[in-house]
């Protein structure tokens, strides 16, 4: 379905052409108001049509303006053409103008004859002679005016035209082979040279501790066990856990002879429990229910406990300690830094050398910390000794080979911008460090631009107004934007004769 766009009276031809280029629709209908500047000439409508044809788009217009509809028919872009439009387009017959006078109707009139006295007076009048100096001054003044006019009209005018060629980012996902046996990039096999690297390295770093330990007393109290089964139970302290709101409690000793009971009749006696950790958050009031889980019993909801005597006495002070998670993260961080440091060292020796984590095999030979897990400390040191073995490659080889591959399939009217922004995200899909080979997956991005043929543009644009220059250039699909500067300030057109039309082509983005 065609996209309909309503345009106002102030929408000019240049802005509409830019809209056509930006829209992705293949069929566009512009609804024009009566008095729209686009309806001032059928040439405007024809240029819209040609722009659409260049971009493989169908451009049509619709309007209520009678003259505008006739111009649209002539341009071949009227979307809702009717028979009445064709009638209005037919030429009208014109009859003789009754008010137009014919020379024969004027009759014959006698010419006016001056009296003899007047004729003799006229003959006696002689033209006044100019002196030589006056003639010279007049001649010099006329020559100066002609020279000034020539300078202003021919020599001085110039036009500086800047054409912004369309450019875009081209992204490709490709696989390359990295091989230590290769000596140069190979477009046919998509291979780049690689090198094996092995080195023992060490690193010591300081890390902040994030663990928390509560030092103080554990809460304790009594609970009454409810046994909803038909069997007498035994719950051992080492395999039984009581829990309430995520807090865990344990029996102080094995509990035996737990008889079947109900909420109305419970023959069992309260037993002692103690909190898992210190802290007042483990204190529980009487009547709080706790779930019971046991290695042999499993999780049986009909077997539970209720606080009979409040669980109290819990208090603690929070202390920062080294956690096992702190030690694990520190080891991972140092190992990653070791690889990065090796890559930096290789790059300083051979610029562009890449050693990425997916192309590395690391062996931790030793690691030691000056604090153990659970030790109270705000920080700790960790030392790691590792053997790094990996397959390296040069980033410039990746860029060069991918540019060659893209150029081999790139359209003739485009080119890769030299010095444009390039991105290459690399990761080994597989590797064999014994053979020194691997498959490298690359997400590559580069800037390509459209070629602009400016060879005969100066001749085409000579004598054109600024608006006409923009219309001509923007109708080309390879042109994104145009800037026109005419000099002197009063100039309205590009010079026609002196050839001072300077055209510069730049990229719309990099």
Query: What are the structural domain ranges in the chain?
Result: 3-89, 197-207+321-392, 211-317
What is residue 440's predicted lDDT score, i.e. its pLDDT?
96
Nearest to 78 by CA among 110, 26, 31, 127: 31
The sheet with strand 501-507 has its strands ordered as 479-487, 158-165, 501-507
The DSSP bridge partners found for residue 27 are 58
Calculate the alpha carbon distances from 105 to 95, 98, 99, 122, 140 in Å. 19, 13, 12, 35, 53
What is residue 258's predicted lDDT score, i.e. its pLDDT?
93
Residue 156 has which token pair?
Answer: 């001085």
Residue 488 DSSP class: S
3-state secondary structure 331-374: HHHHHHHHHHHHHHHHHHHCCCEECCHHHEEEEEEEEEECCCCC
Phi-psi region of 40 (alpha: psi -120 to 50; beta: other; left: phi over 0): alpha
Q: How far apart are CA 265 and CA 11, in angstroms?
A: 90
Q: Are 455 and 213 in contact (CB under 8 A)?
A: no
Token pair 């001056």 is found at 114
User: pLDDT digit of tens for each residue in the chain (510 aa)?
Assistant: 788 899 888 888 888 888 888 888 889 999 998 888 888 888 888 888 888 888 888 999 999 888 888 888 888 888 888 877 767 665 555 445 544 444 444 455 555 555 555 555 555 555 556 567 776 677 767 766 666 555 555 556 888 999 998 888 899 999 999 999 999 999 999 999 999 999 999 999 999 999 988 778 999 999 999 999 999 999 999 999 999 999 999 999 999 999 999 988 999 999 999 999 888 999 999 999 999 998 888 778 999 999 999 999 999 888 899 999 999 999 999 999 999 999 898 889 889 999 998 999 999 999 999 999 999 999 999 999 999 999 999 999 999 999 999 999 998 889 999 888 899 999 999 999 999 999 999 999 999 999 888 888 888 888 889 899 988 998 888 898 899 998 877 788 888 765 788 888 888 765
Nearest to 294 by CA among 254, 353, 327: 254
Q: Are 312 and 280 in contact (CB under 8 A)?
A: no
Q: Are 479 and 471 in contact (CB under 8 A)?
A: no
Q: Are 448 and 413 in contact (CB under 8 A)?
A: no
What is residue 120's predicted lDDT score, i.e. its pLDDT?
56
What is residue 236's predicted lDDT score, i.e. its pLDDT?
94
What is residue 98's predicted lDDT score, i.e. its pLDDT?
47
Question: Residue 301 in 3-state DSSP?
Answer: strand
Q: How far apart are CA 456 and CA 438, in angstroms?
A: 51
What is residue 387's predicted lDDT score, i.e. its pLDDT?
94
Calculate the alpha carbon distances from 481 to 20, 508, 509 in Å. 13, 8, 11
Calculate the alpha carbon distances from 26 to 20, 22, 73, 476 in Å. 10, 11, 21, 17
Give the alpha-carbon dihedral of 23, 25, 27, 29, to 10 degrees: -50
Residue 392 has which token pair?
Answer: 């390296």
What is residue 103's predicted lDDT score, i.e. its pLDDT?
46
Q: Are 4 and 23 in contact (CB under 8 A)?
A: no
Residues 6+ apart with CB under 8 A from 249: 223, 241, 242, 243, 273, 274, 275, 276, 282, 290, 311
Q: Are 201 and 341 in contact (CB under 8 A)?
A: yes
Hey, CA dihedral for 458, 461, 467, 470, is it positive or negative? negative
Residue 31 has which token pair?
Answer: 């609804």
Q: Between β-strands 353-354 and 479-487, what pairing exists: parallel, antiparallel or unpaired?
A: unpaired
């Amino acid at each position: 379905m065609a996209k309909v766009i309503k345009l106002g009276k102030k929408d000019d031809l240049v802005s509409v052409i830019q809209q056509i280029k930006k829209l992705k629709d293949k069929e566009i209908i512009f609804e024009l108001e009566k008095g729209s500047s686009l309806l001032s000439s059928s040439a405007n409508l024809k240029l819209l049509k040609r722009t659409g044809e260049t971009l493989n788009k169908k451009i049509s217009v619709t309007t209520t303006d009678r003259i505008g509809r006739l111009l649209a028919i002539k341009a071949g872009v009227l979307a809702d053409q009717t028979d009445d439009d064709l009638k209005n387009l037919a030429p009208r017959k014109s009859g003789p103008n009754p008010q137009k006078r014919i020379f024969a109707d004027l009759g014959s009139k006698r010419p006016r004859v001056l009296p003899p006295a007047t004729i003799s007076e006229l003959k006696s009048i002689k033209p006044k002679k100019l002196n030589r100096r006056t003639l010279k001054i007049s001649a010099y003044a006329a020559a100066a005016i002609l020279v000034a006019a020539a300078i202003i009209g021919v020599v001085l005018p110039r036009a500086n035209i800047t054409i912004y060629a369309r450019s875009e980012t081209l992204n490709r996902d490709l696989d390359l082979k990295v091989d230590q046996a290769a000596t140069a990039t190979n477009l046919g096999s998509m291979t780049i040279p690689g090198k094996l690297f092995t080195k023992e390295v060490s690193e010591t770093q300081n890390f902040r501790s994030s663990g928390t330990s509560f030092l103080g007393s554990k809460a304790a109290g009594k609970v009454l066990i409810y046994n909803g089964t038909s069997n007498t139970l035994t719950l051992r302290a080492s395999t039984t856990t009581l829990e309430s709101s995520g807090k865990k409690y344990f029996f102080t000793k094995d509990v035996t002879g737990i008889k079947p009971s109900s909420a109305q009749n419970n023959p069992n006696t309260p037993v002692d429990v103690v909190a898992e950790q210190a802290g007042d958050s483990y204190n529980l009031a009487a009547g709080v229910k706790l779930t019971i889980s046991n290695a042999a019993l499993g999780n049986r909801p009909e077997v539970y406990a209720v606080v009979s005597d409040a669980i109290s006495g819990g208090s603690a002070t929070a202390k920062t300690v080294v956690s096992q998670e702190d030690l694990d993260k520190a080891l991972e961080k140092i190992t990653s830094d070791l690889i990065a440091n090796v890559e930096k060292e290789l790059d300083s020796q051979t610029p562009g050398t890449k050693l990425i984590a997916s192309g590395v095999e690391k062996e931790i030979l030793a690691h030691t910390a000056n604090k153990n897990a659970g030790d109270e400390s705000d920080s700790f040191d960790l030392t790691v000794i590792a053997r790094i073995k990996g397959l390296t490659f040069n980033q410039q080889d990746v860029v060069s080979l991918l540019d060659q591959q893209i150029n081999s399939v790139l359209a003739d009217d485009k080119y890769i911008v030299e010095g444009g922004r390039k991105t290459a995200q690399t990761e080994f899909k597989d590797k064999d460090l014994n053979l020194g080979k691997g498959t490298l997956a690359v997400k590559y991005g580069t800037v390509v631009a459209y070629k602009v043929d400016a060879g005969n543009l100066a001749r085409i644009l000579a004598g054109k107004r600024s608006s006409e220059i923009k219309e001509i250039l923007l109708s080309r699909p390879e042109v994104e934007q145009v800037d026109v500067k005419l000099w002197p300030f009063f100039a309205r057109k590009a010079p026609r004769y002196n050839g001072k039309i300077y055209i510069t082509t730049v990229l719309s983005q990099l």
